[in-house]
Amino acid sequence: MDIDKLFKVPKLPTGGNKRKMPDNPTPETLKKMRMEVSSPPGAPISGPSKGKSRAVTVEDADDEEEDSRRNFAPGGDADYFVEEDGEGRFFGGGLTSEQKDILNIFDNSTEEGDQDDIMSLAAVKRLLLRFERAANKNQDQRSKYPDDPTKFIDSEADLDTALKSLLPLAQSPIIAYPELADNGTIEILIGLLAHENADIVIDVVEVIHELTDEDVGNEGQDEDDVENNQEALRILIETLLANSILELLVENLSRLNEAEESDRQGVFHILGIFENILGFNPSLATDLVSKTKILAWLLKRIESKQHDENRGYAAEILSILLQDNPPNRVEFGKQDGAEVSLKVLSQYRRRDPVDADETEFMENVFDALCSALIETSVKELFLKAEGPDLMVLLMKEKQQARSRSIKCLDYAMAGTTGTAMCEAFVDALGLKTLFSAFMGKSSKKQKSGPAPPASEDTQHILGIMSSLFSNLPSESPARIRLLAKFVENTYEKVDRLLDIRTSAHGRLSVTDAEIEREKKVRYSCSSLGVAFVLLTVNIDQALLADGVEVTSEEEEAWYLRRLEGGLFTLQTVDFILAWIIMEDDGIRDHAQKMLSRKNQTMEDIIQTLRIFYDNTDEDGMQVDSENGVEKPLSQKDILQGLIYALSDTKAQ
């Protein structure tokens, strides 16, 4: 390998308008640069020697001798004859003198940059004072000469420079942010968001974006410093919010023209500020939507036909705003968010996203829609906009949107208010597509170890089936069509359910074994501690309790682990099995026969449903007391009825 080639600058094509990388500096330039780096600030740089001719002759001779040594060394390595070991062998570094000079200059500049990152309080105050003076001067000259840009153009350039000089403050938040909040700099900075020059506004937005980054000053810091940085960031964000930062930023979104590169960067930084603020305090999402027009802007932005980075960022912010936020979801529905989302997603029926960035955009739009569908009002709008029909069409196509459409239907049809959605799904011929996806291609059996978890698609398909059985009225044509799917082809769908159940049961057994081992270790340690105390005070060992008190937090944590370890899938499958066993005698006989082959009985399904029942909250009433109208049964009521029905079936 020729190491010299690794350090040579590659030749660029001569044609075109691309910026070219400069050639290697000459030795004279390097010598001058080194003198500038090594000399203290303000020290005069000595020029070339103008001594006597004899001195010049001796210096030239030395240079010639040095050049001959460099030329003699293999590869022109300047240190080939300098670096040697104890036995007199020579080893070169593989670098020419010119290349080593370049590396030395970069090393020096890096060390100086590291020192500059550590800002003192005095340095921070000087930067803030310079910025304040530049802002005031520009404001004065603009007010004096509003129609003569030549009078204030210089002050505007100074203001631009002063704003960019504030960027390094993000490296010293503990020192800089309290100063920013206390001396009025934040007020001046936010005031510039109304500046007539859009370039100044973009500078301000870039500075705020950098200052509000959640990782400000955290590199290489210990835990205490990180906490102090977060406290400084809290002070900064609260000061920004007190000065109406959210409203001013949203107003500038419509002001900037994304056809211009600089304005497009400005929009990107504004969206970045929203992400930073929401990441620091998610509860501010409600204020952002209620006090500004951000939701309308985001919905309009994702409708754009041409995809770019800001369109993807807008979808991400939309998803963040709707996550765990009922008021924002309701407002999303009021502003036709469901219809806009369906319109955007319809373009992926026939094609996949062109790249990873557009794929992320599509997923964020689906996520936003799924979050909103938790609200009943949005479900009604989704149904009115023929959302189930579009999702069924997306399911039929073998595109990336297929999996997301299954997830979206699961959210839309869930809950006691999903009856109309379930009926619309069946009317759109969704059962055929759903069960085709459910059967799929069965994976090969694992040679060893626990069975893999059900895929995300399978989990959502099971959720859709569960909603169909819970919401479709008894004896309705739609319910009969659903039940018939489990009877056809010699109960193949029932067998598929039982296979998924076996896999989930195996994974749950592994999880339960892990939890039991942890309990034994914990109880053993606790018992040893109690035994030591009892022996110390000479109390009879028989008084030692057999068990150790378990807190509700521990029980909840174990239950969540069991859900993730297979219990959730097992509960959903047994819920579906209970329905079809109760409603069809042929399915009941087939299921019992298949369960017995795996040493399982109906009691195992009942036991799963009892655990499901005990950990389910009431989510509805059976009768509307005001109007006397029967309402859909709650999940808990349905589970109780299934347990009774299966118990009677088992007794027969």
Q: Compare 555 and 461 and report the one with higher pLDDT.
A: 461
- The sign of the CA dihedral 123, 129, 130, 135 is positive
Which domains are assigned to the chain?
Answer: 1-11+25-31+61-117 (no CATH), 120-281 (no CATH), 283-314+322-354+366-441+453-461 (no CATH), 473-651 (1.25.10.10)
Average pLDDT, the chain: 80
> 90 near 83, Cβ under 8 Å?
yes
Per-position b or e across 113-149, b if 16+ CB within 10 A of its CB: eeeeeebeeebbeebbeebbebbebbbebbeeeeeee
Quote the CA–CA distance of 249 and 294 in Å, as a whole number.
9
Quote the CA–CA distance of 477 and 473 in Å, as a whole number.
9
Instruction: Return the residue matching tokens 């949107």.
Output: 401
Quote the CA–CA distance of 311 and 313 in Å, as a whole number.
5
Lowest model confidence (mean pLDDT) among 39-48, 180-189, 205-214, 332-341: 39-48
**Cβ–Cβ contacts within 10 Å for residue 362, how many?**
21
The amino acid present at 128, given as its one-letter code, is L
pLDDT tens-digit map of 163-182: 999 999 988 899 999 999 88
> 76 near 70, Cβ under 8 Å?
yes
The pLDDT score that the predictor gives to residue 74 is 52
The pLDDT score that the predictor gives to residue 234 is 93
pLDDT tens-digit map of 67-90: 544 454 555 555 544 444 444 444
Average pLDDT over every residue of 302-316? 94
> 340 near 299, Cβ under 8 Å?
yes
pLDDT tens-digit map of 21-37: 344 455 555 445 445 44
Quote the CA–CA distance of 634 and 611 in Å, as a whole number.
16
**Cα–Cα nearest to 192, from 264, 277, 266:** 266
DSSP designation for 623: B
The pLDDT score that the predictor gives to residue 443 is 39
Q: Where are the alpha helices (DSSP H) in 43-172?
A: 53-72, 97-117, 121-144, 149-164
For residue 76, count CB atoms less than 10 angstroms from its CB and return exposed for 0-12, middle for 13-18, buried for 19 or more: middle
The pLDDT score that the predictor gives to residue 95 is 61
Percent of the chain residues past pLDDT 70, beyond the cut: 71
The pLDDT score that the predictor gives to residue 97 is 64
**Cα–Cα nearest to 577, from 473, 475, 465, 652:** 465
Q: Compare 221 and 108 and report the one with higher pLDDT.
A: 221
Quote the CA–CA distance of 533 and 115 in Å, as a whole number.
57
Lowest model confidence (mean pLDDT) among 198-202, 244-248, 347-351, 444-448: 444-448
pLDDT tens-digit map of 337-373: 999 999 999 999 989 999 999 999 999 999 999 999 9
pLDDT tens-digit map of 585-622: 999 999 999 999 989 999 999 999 999 999 987 654 33
> 574 near 605, Cβ under 8 Å?
yes
The amino acid present at 188, given as its one-letter code, is I
Looking at the chain, the number of H-run helices and the number of E-run strands are 30, 0
Q: Give SS3 for 232.
A: helix
